Structure 1
Amino acid sequence: MGNKEKVCSVLEREKDWMSIVQVAEKSGLSRQTASKYLWILTADGKAEIRKFAQAQTFRVKESDA
């Protein structure tokens, strides 16, 4: 499983807003690597971001069912 898939798997499993550090810990990746793939998934439309102040949290994007 590649790094992108690891990050996506964590987001799909947790279903709640998660920080970069939380995703990194649960995926076994470094914070920098988790951040890179979170931003890629966001750009691909597979994850969404919520920003407040200096913090960002991410979650899997819910389908438009």
Structure 2
Amino acid sequence: MQYRTLTVKMSSIMDRETEYKEFQFPKLNELLEAGWGIKEIIPATTNQNVGFVFLTYILCQQ
């Protein structure tokens, strides 16, 4: 089994016009379309004054 990691960074600031914001991650979508699957997602936040969230995806391919 092969593994790969991908970390994405997103701003935690919300759009004031909507209650939520939807994010797209082109590289992640590309890997998923190529047959990789998500094994685990590891969230990490920064200092609350900075306002970023990092999501690390552990991907696997059989």
TM-score by length of 1: 0.31
Structure of higher RCO (CA pairs closer than 8 Å, 6+ residues apart): 2
Structure having the larger proportion of residues in helix: 1
Higher strand proportion (structure 1 or 2)? 2
Highest Rg: 1 or 2? 2
